[in-house]
Structure 1
């Protein structure tokens, strides 16, 4: 029965992530009457919602049921997307982002936890990175094909890509009901005690504390990178008809990174790999504004290398450090911090886009990525020095 989860997991991850709206989301929001400042404010609201819901939903997965948490994830995300389809009001969109954030937090931590625990129970936990990477690669390939389709569908009907994505979320919820709940150690503590003990684990474990700090950096730079694609396309004069093709190529790079590079660097120390991803992200923002041209869009694909490697590497790193009964809550806390950093910084990027333009916005994010990566390198060296002293 546990082995069944290994088949269901990539299917669930595929459909919960198969939102084919990526290439047309910013144009769609502009079509709905929003400006860049409002768009980024909505993303900040979404991130704050994730911040508020992340740990409570992680605790539901730890103390109640992984399967229930994954089922509800698709339901709430689908309702949020439906509000975007049916309405044209900033405050309704804010509610939609809250619901979408709630949906995403219900799967955050619970999905990777059920995979890791399933593999652990059958004595194959060393396969985690490979299976996580494979699942992500299927998603990226699906999103690559969906990116091209969404461009054509959007020109035919602005709402078509959103209805298809809505259906995929409902399919994910149905698939979640097929999971087998793995026998595991559950926390015997009450809700608040469980959370405080999970926080205590984070602060007392240097490696997890470092992961939380790194998550704060990458949570901002990876997510804000997506919202800066369309302004750069506009800056270099790329026709909207090509957006889907570019996103197709981006997702192919992410799929390659997730499938092949995850295996290639699985024996490397995770923190070393993660620091390399931080450097790659810094270059992906700074190089395109040195060479402002259509061909420089290829430099943005560096972000897809980080996107493909980040989740498998980070989740394996964290899962390896914690016990079953705190697993989903600690993973959710790491995700919580990444969303908090995005919530704080993303509105500034939206204001910069409206006031100073694309180049200065890219420069700002590039400097944040470079300085943050260097600071984390120093923190890693300091922690290692303490462990040997």
Structure 2
């Protein structure tokens, strides 16, 4: 019966994430009267809301129901989108970002945990990354064509991309009803003890500690990378009407990587893959500064390979380390680390962008990314060395 979850999973992932506002998000917020500092502050607030709700909603998925958590995800996202359509107030946008954050945390961890547990029941655990990759492939293809559609809709009516995205996440909520809850051991502890035990597992497992630190670096540089697209496009004089075409290309690259690279890396050690991905992120900030031109968009596209491979690799890595009753909560903790770093640093990036310009901002983020890559490599090497010494005794 768990075969049904394997069929529904890509459908759910597609609609709950098919928000086509990406190419026009910054122009839309500028149209609403915000500046870059306010835009980045909103993203910081979004990340803080994820920080506050990530673990509680992960616990809800572990202790109550994965299915119910996934259903609520689309409801909260739809409410946030609706506020952005109807109102023009910065404070209302703050509320919208909080609702977005809650919506994301309700699906974060719960969806991949449900897939992983279903595959275990079917003796297909090794297919996790491939299925995640295929799900991302369909999603990125949708985003590719949605990007062009978004630009056309935005030129006709600035609110249409938001309305279409609202409809999509509601369809995702409906799809969640068709999941079959996996037969698994649930935590018998109360909420506080469950969180404490999950946290204890995370900090006492060296591989998860490494994942938490990795997510902190990745969460900042990847999210910032997205918000720096439009300023870079402006720097090299690309008109907003071409944004949809560029995002189409970005999503095609992500879809290609999901379909063809995911199967190739499934037998590669996850930490090795993750280190390669963060190095690509570093190059995507450094090279556009060295070669400032329209051709530098090709370097920005490296981020799409990272985008397509990070989730299946990281979630497989974490799922493999944790037992069922703590799985969604621990995955949520890793996601929390990613959003906390962005929440802290995003406002500063907005100020640097407003006062120092795009190129200087790219240089700063590139340096942070490079330092993070080196630190993670050295920590991985140290952990492996300690493990070899312990095995020798």
Q: What range is the shorter-chain TM-score in?
A: over 0.9
Q: Structure 1 stretch 262-271 or stretch 155-164: which is displaced more?
A: 262-271
Match in the other structure for 2:238: 238
2:277 corresponds to which residue? Answer: 277
Q: Which residue is 2:346 aligned to?
A: 346
Structure 1: gaps (5+ residues): none
Query: For residues 258 and 117 of structure 1, what CA distance do their matches in structure 2 show?
Result: 22
- Counterpart of 1:43 in structure 2 is 43
Deviation at 1:267, TM superposition (A): 1.1
Partner of 2:374: 374
What is the aligned partner in structure 2 of residue 14 from structure 1?
14
Report what 2:314 is aligned to.
Answer: 314
Mapping 1:50-199, distance limit 5 Å: 50-199=50-199
Cα offset, 1:298, TM superposition = 1.2
The number of aligned residues is 389
Distance 1:129 1:278 in 2: 18
Cα distance in 1 between the residues matched to 2:352 and 2:138? 35
Question: Which residue in the other structure is 1:286 paired with?
Answer: 286
TM-superposed deviation, 1:2: 1.2
Counterpart for residue 386 of structure 1: 386
Which residue matches 2:252?
A: 252
| Offset, 1:297 | 1.0
Question: Following TM superposition, where does structure 1 have runs of at least 4 consecutive aligned residues deviating by more than 6 angstroms?
Answer: none
State the alpha-carbon separation in 1 of the partners of residues 263 and 368 from structure 2: 29
Residue in structure 1 matched with residue 207 of structure 2 by the alignment: 207
SS at match of 2:368: helix
Report the 3-state secondary structure (helix = DSSP H, G, I; strand = E; otherwise coil) of the residue aligned with 1:321: coil
1:263 matched to 2:263: yes
The answer to whether residue 345 in structure 2 is matched with residue 334 in structure 1 is no
Structure 1 counterpart of 2:298: 298
In the alignment, structure 1 residue 216 sits paired with structure 2 residue 216: yes
TM-score, with normalisation over the residues of structure 1? 0.99
Displacement of 1:295: 1.0
Question: Deviation at 1:328?
Answer: 0.1
Residue 321 of structure 1 deviates from its aligned partner by 0.6
Q: Could you tell me which residue of structure 2 aligns to residue 325 of structure 1?
A: 325
SS for the counterpart of 1:364 is: helix
Deviations 1:311-365 (A, max 9, x none): 0100001101110000000000000010000001111110011000000111111
Partner SS for 2:179: coil
* 1:125 Cα deviation from its structure 2 partner: 0.8
C-alpha distance in structure 2 between counterparts of 1:303 and 1:357, whole Å:
21
Measure the CA separation in 1 of the matches of 2:62 and 2:336.
16
